[in-house]
Amino acid sequence: MSIPATFRAFRIHHSDGHRAGIEAVSLDDLSPGEVVVRAEWSSVNYKDALAGTGEGKILRRFPLVGGIDVAGHVVASTDPRFREGDPVLCTGSGLSETRDGGYSEYVRLQADWTIPLPAGLGLREAMVLGTAGFTAGLSLLRMEQNGQVPAMGPVVVTGATGGVSMLAIDILSRAGYEAHAITGKFEHLDFLTRLGARQVINRKDMHWGPRPLETALWAGAIDSVGGDTLAGLTRVIHPYGNIASCGLAGGHALNTTVMPFIIRGVSVLGIASAGTARAQREQVWERLAGPWKPAHLDAICTRETTLDELPQVFPTMLAGGSFGRTVVRL
């Protein structure tokens, strides 16, 4: 397939102030890479909204095409692992940080970070998952590598109406775990129950207790909130349970003691999805396309948008007004 001389991309500049919008770019304008992909789908993450509006210092060089996720078909490759027509995806891996990202009709990727689309997963489905689903899947993979099994008991998910957490509830249920949810948006109780949450707790009613160790309530946790919530979780996890720490919506500071770690053997596992090694990436995506594939992707994807509409999507997300996952049709 021939690549057009120019194509459309959502590009972010920072000379004389923040500026972002649709531009005509060429392949030579994009970061180097061995694999050229005709992009079909991307997604919108909180990080994308910060970068696209200039509200957060996400990009480390300018100008760059935005978008930390992308999926499409290979149109050219100098790496023998990829051939024209292969469906592929890429999440994180420096996209929209140090490299041009996925908000472009054509994308040039480094082969080592390009993942063949696993059987059982469509390109659009891959972007409903995107970085959010990958982070949730990586959280569970890391927990299981550290000994977590369903027989240990329920796993609680915090910030339950966020994209990562919605997908985590669905993934946990598919993997045979009893999932519980903590949310400050209790009006979505029915939706979280539909995703598989066996118990939904109103964050406003949650009292962690003042002692270094409180009554153990859960066998593990996937936490996207951080701050006081993560500190509280350390006090209520069963012996040898795992907490996957994958976000900081509630703050980055952590005020706790070593008691849960040296008396109950609780582990806090850091989930850094952007720089995950390729072998582990492939493990996660194989599970997300197979036994862990969420059963409610259509319900979790609440919005489909285009490149032109991105500037209207970002402010809503930053203001906390979005719900579910948003995919971008390229």
- Superfamily of structural domain 132-273: NAD(P)-binding Rossmann-like Domain (3.40.50.720)
- CA-wise closest residue to 24 among 49, 4, 51, 54: 4
- CA-wise closest residue to 10 among 110, 103, 89: 103
Distance CA 71, CA 89 (A): 4
In Å, how far are 76, 143, 234, 244, 273 from 214, measured between CA atoms? 57, 22, 9, 19, 31
CB 34 within 8 A of CB 41: no
Strand 267-270's sheet: what is its strand order? Answer: 197-202, 179-183, 155-157, 218-223, 237-245, 267-270
Q: Do the domains 7-117+300-329 and 132-273 sit in the same CATH topology, yes or no? A: no
Domain boundaries, the chain: 7-117+300-329, 132-273
pLDDT tens across the length of the chain (330 residues)? 789 999 999 999 998 889 999 999 999 999 999 999 999 999 999 999 999 999 999 999 999 999 999 999 999 999 999 999 999 999 999 999 999 999 999 999 999 999 999 999 999 999 999 999 999 999 999 999 999 999 999 999 999 999 999 999 999 999 999 999 999 999 999 999 999 999 999 999 999 999 999 999 999 999 999 999 999 999 999 999 999 999 999 999 999 999 999 999 999 999 999 989 999 999 999 999 999 999 999 999 999 999 999 999 999 999 988 899 999 999
What is the pTM for the complete model shown?
Answer: 0.97
Q: Which CATH entry fits the domain spanning 7-117+300-329: 3.20.20.140, 3.90.180.10, 3.30.2320.50, 3.30.365.10?
A: 3.90.180.10
**182 forms bridges with which residues in the sheet?**
201
